[in-house]
Amino acid sequence: MINLHKPAALLLALTLTLSTACTGRTAEPTATDKTAAVSVVVTFDALYELASAIGGDRVNVVNIMPPGADAHHFEPRPKDIALLGTADVFLVCGLGFDPWAQDVIDAAGNNDLTVCEASRGIVPIELSGDAHGLGPGNSINSDDDRGSYDPHAWLSISCAKLMVENIRDALILADPGGAEYFRDNSNMFIQKLDGLFDEYSEKFSALQNRTLVTGHAVFAYLCRDFSLEQNSVEGVFAEGEPNARALSELIDFCRANNITVILAESQSSPLVAETLAAEAGASVRMIYTMETPEEGLTYIERMERNLATIYESMKN
């Protein structure tokens, strides 16, 4: 596991002149001198959003994950290694989401790099190897690059709060002079999360139907927040054709339980959800996974819309 630390003896050293100035979510490094701002590199969009909100104008954040890329199977490029060679902070998710991260850290050879596993302290949801085709291991440098835990913790409010705190601490370690600023920003962000949690705890508690149906199982942590149940055709790592038996059983479940809305990921093909909806007499609503930029929306905006969509799907 990666924890908050500054690596000491790494395998390779690079002589680099690239900076980490950020002009967007997937900005490329430019050959300019490093600025006074903290240079932060992240592995996917949700971390970009959280780091930007907490770091404000004291950080330059670069997301090395191209839009639409599969984070589980991403292969770092030479420019990504170069970027980390001059960065101050590297934020990874952990829980098997970005298993390639350790190799990039080792190759960058940056002894001053603060590495933060944003999911540190989150109680993981373990996956069944039989059900999801997973092998052993939960470390980012495991032989099974997907690990044995559900990695989608950032879609949960309670988990997001822990991630915010971990990111805050990493930024303070890299920039002690900004400690009060980072704490203020993180406190404001957590207040927004708490407001959403309180609002939807009340709403969900009043529902008789507490099951959401998705094409791809990504909301286990959010379901844990609100004592909901998730039922999906495909598992956490949706690869290949969906299981025909699982699809048939879920169609029967939707019909028996009057499920009228199927949730589909905005960044993926909705084919599985549409097939299920057609057979069950339901409609399809889109949800955000926050793995890549989606419609120019912030983390809080997407969390608000996800919660509203899930609630509306379960109201009837």
Q: What is the pLDDT of residue 80?
A: 94
What proportion of the chain, given as a percentage, has pLDDT over 70?
78
Q: Which of 124, 68, 66 is nearest to 93 (CA)?
A: 124
Q: Are 45 and 290 in contact (CB under 8 A)?
A: yes
Q: Are 125 and 235 in contact (CB under 8 A)?
A: no
Q: What is the pLDDT of residue 268?
A: 63
- Does 159 fall in a domain? yes
Domain shared by 219 and 164, yes or no:
no
Total number of domains in the chain: 2
Domain shared by 89 and 218, yes or no:
no
**Tens-digit pLDDT profile for residues 211-265:** 998 877 889 999 999 999 998 876 544 554 566 777 788 888 888 888 889 998 8
Domain shared by 186 and 271, yes or no:
no
Q: What is the pLDDT of residue 269?
A: 61
| Residue type at position 146 | R
CA gap 96, 148 in Å, rounded:
7
Span of 150-164, 183-197, 210-224 with lowest mean pLDDT: 210-224
Q: Within the chain, how many helices (H) and strands (E) appear?
A: 10, 8
- Does 24 fall in a domain? no
Bridge pairing between strands 59-63 and 114-117: unpaired
Last residue of a domain, one of 149, 166, 193: 193
Confidence band (pLDDT; 50, 70, 90) for 10?
A: very low
Alpha helices in 211-264 (DSSP H): 220-226, 244-256
Q: Which of 39, 32, 49, 143 is nearest to 96 (CA)?
A: 143
Residue 141 structure tokens: 């440098």
- Does 65 fall in a domain? yes
Confidence band (pLDDT; 50, 70, 90) for 3?
A: low
What residues are paired with 214 via a beta bridge?
232, 263
What proportion of the chain, given as a percentage, has pLDDT over 90?
56
DSSP-derived secondary structure for 169-188: HHHHHH-GGGHHHHHHHHHH
Strands ordered across the beta sheet of 59-63: 59-63, 38-42, 89-92, 114-117
Q: Which domain holds residue 255?
A: 207-314
CA gap 212, 6 in Å, rounded:
41
| Residue type at position 269 | S
